Structure 1
Amino acid sequence: MPSHNDRVREALARVEGERAATANAGAGVRIGLLGRGIGASLTPIMHEAEGRRLGLDYRYDPIDFDKLGLEDADLGAMLEAVRERGFRGVNVTYPFKQAIIPLLDTLSGEASAIGAVNTVVFSERGTEGHNTDCYGFAQSLRQGLGVVPVSRVVQIGAGGAGAAVAQALAELGAMEIDIVDVDTSRAQALAAQVASANGTLTRAMTPERLAEVIEEASGVVNATPVGMEKLPGLPFDPGLLQPHQWVADIIYFPRETALVRQARDIGCRVLPGGGMAVYQAVRAFQLFSGREPDPLEMAKTFAAYA
């Protein structure tokens, strides 16, 4: 019977074999994406297209734990395996953005403050975790919605992505942030973290108070995975929304979630998750390659495949 590490290496070999006909196994810059249900992700396409445009030998492999039949406990072994195979680094998505932190040697200041990692860079110094989601969400909101009221924002979800979004909201000038999560202790921990780091009035709310807090909100953000192709559905009842509010979703596959669609029908200004996906990829590309990517070109690639 194969050992734990052997099973992970065999899974990685399957990923490499499946892409052998379309990608260079000996690429100068090799990147991976660790997560579950990531088959529809456009991050690999954006990275590889920008790499080609800049004349780089660049390959980006999705490593889907669902497709490969891997357990969450295999995360550390996979991190070690991709490093052994010469990867420059990996992006990390649901459900590993917080679970990966104990496996890393160092964290950037932003990743440490947020408490979540979506980008890991390998170097002679070891493994360093970064968070490009915070920048990605903030830049997406600026570009996609422009100036919107942020006097009181309700955020649904306090997981790895939610930690980055809450920090971005604080940096965007939110005066009050209500964080709602089915895991009350997780919401409380995130609220305390954001308040301590930014001085922003941040409260943890139970789902039972959702109707109350949404009624008083200027905007609402879905930072849960509910609505993904893997987890279809609605994170809350859109009937609670009012036309003067704005609604943002961090999910981009499907390209337009049921929440975004129904919020638009109500009359809300909406922000799908595509912009965040583009801008987090822009920052991650720079970290991996040391080159400055063109955000407009990466956005064009995203739009062409979305």
Structure 2
Amino acid sequence: MDGRFLVGLIGANIGTSMSPALHEREAGRHGVRYLYQLIDPTLLGLDGRDIGELITAARRLGFRGLNITHPYKQDVVKHLDELSPEAALLGAVNTVLFDGERATGHNTDRYGFAQGLARRLPDVATGHVVQVGAGGAGAAVASAIAGTGTRLLTLADLDSDRANRLARAIMRSSGTTVEVIAPADVSGRLRQADGLVNATPLGMEGHPGMPVPADHLRPEMWVADVIYRPLETELIRAARHRGCRVADGGGMVVYQAAASFRLFTGLTPDEERMYADFEALAGPRHA
């Protein structure tokens, strides 16, 4: 590469994304020219059916690669030439790398969630974890949770077929037992669970709400969220008030960004430096 990189993010309602700043600041410290563009199909009058055209256009315009976020992480898969082993396992892509005429899909979300959880909650029990959401982010989160040695992962999603596909993929690749339940049954499972993870858009800007009622959160539980806009979601706030240990979505966004930066540039990012950038951009957070 010649030290110049054009990359971007495809997603809905991404106007407040911190990805451009995280990538561009780290690139500046490496002395490379790096432009990170936001591409919101909803502002262009497009939808998920047009994602393939956006991928083709970005490649022809000279993009080095793209990040992909909600709600296109699974839709994009069929428009790519190749998948990394992890992306193929999860059926979800958050990073596309262009090499000539080929577009290869990767998934750095699994690494991002695993590192973020380990940073914020390094010593929590993960014997039984309840996860709400089996979409693009949920696939990576479920794989990361299984990687902690979880014996039982309870997975809930409005799309039971999608949840069952993910459950089968996780059980094929790990020693974790995955049970699929309806979202209405989540509260009952929380009575004995070690932790709860929200991998749905609930709590994101434009998607107010919580995946479970606050009074079903027990102080003995830990609670994690994949959302970082806002950093303190309704779920994180309620969990903290009830005495739960919490992990917001900040760690996931930083570490997946660092892994994507490495793919785009071939350079080794300073993850601690990028985490400090995130904290400066996000402002004060609760302990």
Do these two structures clear the TM 0.5 threshold for a shared fold by scoring above it? Answer: yes
Instruction: Check whether the contact 2:151–2:175 (CA below 8 A) recurs between aligned residues.
Output: no
- Residue 155 of structure 1 aligns to a residue whose secondary structure is strand
Return the alpha-carbon distance in structure 2 between the equivalents of residues 145 and 136 of structure 1: 14
**Given the alignment, which residue of 86, 89, 102 partners 1:113?**
89
Instruction: Check whether the contact 1:223–1:250 (CA below 8 A) recurs between aligned residues.
Output: yes
Return the alpha-carbon distance in structure 1 between the equivalents of residues 246 and 175 of structure 2: 27
Shift of 1:297: 1.1
1:61-92 residue CA offsets vs partner (Å, 9 max, x unmatched)? 01112233322222111111111110000000
Correspondence 1:89-100 to 2 at 5 A:
89-100=65-76
Correspondence 1:115-134 to 2 at 5 A:
115-124=91-100, 126-134=102-110
Instruction: Check whether the contact 1:27–1:59 (CA below 8 A) recurs between aligned residues.
Output: no
1:21-45 residue CA offsets vs partner (Å, 9 max, x unmatched)? xxxxx98101010000111111111
- Residue 95 of structure 1 aligns to a residue whose secondary structure is coil
**Given the alignment, which residue of 157, 167, 175 partners 1:199?**
175
**Given the alignment, which residue of 268, 271, 278 partners 2:247?**
271
- Residue 215 of structure 1 aligns to a residue whose secondary structure is coil
Give the aligned partner of residue 59 of structure 1.
Answer: 35
Return the alpha-carbon distance in structure 1 between the equivalents of residues 25 and 45 of structure 2: 29
Query: What amino acid does structure 1 have at the position aligned with 2:192?
Result: E
| Runs of 4+ displaced beyond 4 Å | none
Correspondence 1:217-232 to 2 at 5 A:
217-232=193-208
Return the alpha-carbon distance in structure 1 between the equivalents of residues 100 and 56 of structure 2: 14
Query: What amino acid does structure 1 have at the position aligned with 2:71?
Result: P
Bigger Rg, structure 1 or 2: 1
Give the aligned partner of residue 186 of structure 1.
Answer: 162
TM-score normalised per structure 2: 0.95
Give the aligned partner of residue 125 of structure 2.
Answer: 149
Give the aligned partner of residue 242 of structure 1.
Answer: 218
Query: What amino acid does structure 2 have at the position aligned with 1:59?
Result: L
1:115-151 residue CA offsets vs partner (Å, 9 max, x unmatched)? 1100000003611100000000001111111110001
In the alignment of these two chains, the number of paired residues is 281
Shift of 1:224: 0.3
- Residue 236 of structure 1 aligns to a residue whose secondary structure is coil
Instruction: Check whether the contact 1:242–1:268 (CA below 8 A) recurs between aligned residues.
Output: yes
- Residue 105 of structure 2 aligns to a residue whose secondary structure is strand
Return the alpha-carbon distance in structure 2 between the equivalents of residues 257 and 66 of structure 1: 24
Give the aligned partner of residue 165 of structure 1.
Answer: 141
Gap runs ≥5 in structure 1: 1-25
Return the alpha-carbon distance in structure 2 between the equivalents of residues 276 and 177 of structure 1: 20
Instruction: Check whether the contact 1:101–1:129 (CA below 8 A) recurs between aligned residues.
Output: yes
Query: What amino acid does structure 2 have at the position aligned with 1:159?
Result: G
Gap runs ≥5 in structure 2: 283-287
Shift of 1:295: 0.3
Say if 2:112 is the partner of 1:136: yes
Instruction: Check whether the contact 2:146–2:170 (CA below 8 A) recurs between aligned residues.
Output: yes
Query: What amino acid does structure 1 have at the position aligned with 2:6?
Result: R
Q: CA RMSD in A?
A: 1.3
- Residue 100 of structure 1 aligns to a residue whose secondary structure is helix
Q: Percent identity?
A: 47
Return the alpha-carbon distance in structure 1 between the equivalents of residues 252 and 47 of structure 2: 28
Shift of 1:305: 1.1
Say if 2:258 is the partner of 1:289: no
Instruction: Check whether the contact 2:236–2:248 (CA below 8 A) recurs between aligned residues.
Output: yes
Instruction: Check whether the contact 2:65–2:97 (CA below 8 A) recurs between aligned residues.
Output: yes
Instruction: Check whether the contact 1:133–1:164 (CA below 8 A) recurs between aligned residues.
Output: yes
- Residue 203 of structure 1 aligns to a residue whose secondary structure is strand
- Residue 66 of structure 2 aligns to a residue whose secondary structure is strand
- Residue 302 of structure 1 aligns to a residue whose secondary structure is helix
1:231-274 residue CA offsets vs partner (Å, 9 max, x unmatched)? 11112212111001000000000111010001000000000000
Query: What amino acid does structure 2 have at the position aligned with 1:172?
Result: T
Return the alpha-carbon distance in structure 2 between the equivalents of residues 297 and 56 of structure 1: 17
Instruction: Check whether the contact 1:238–1:262 (CA below 8 A) recurs between aligned residues.
Output: yes
Say if 2:57 is the partner of 1:81: yes
Query: What amino acid does structure 2 have at the position aligned with 1:297?
Result: R
Q: In terms of mean alpha carbon deviation, does 47-56 or 190-199 score higher?
A: 190-199
**Given the alignment, which residue of 266, 269, 277 partners 1:301?**
277
Return the alpha-carbon distance in structure 1 between the equivalents of residues 43 and 276 of structure 2: 28
Say if 2:48 is the partner of 1:72: yes
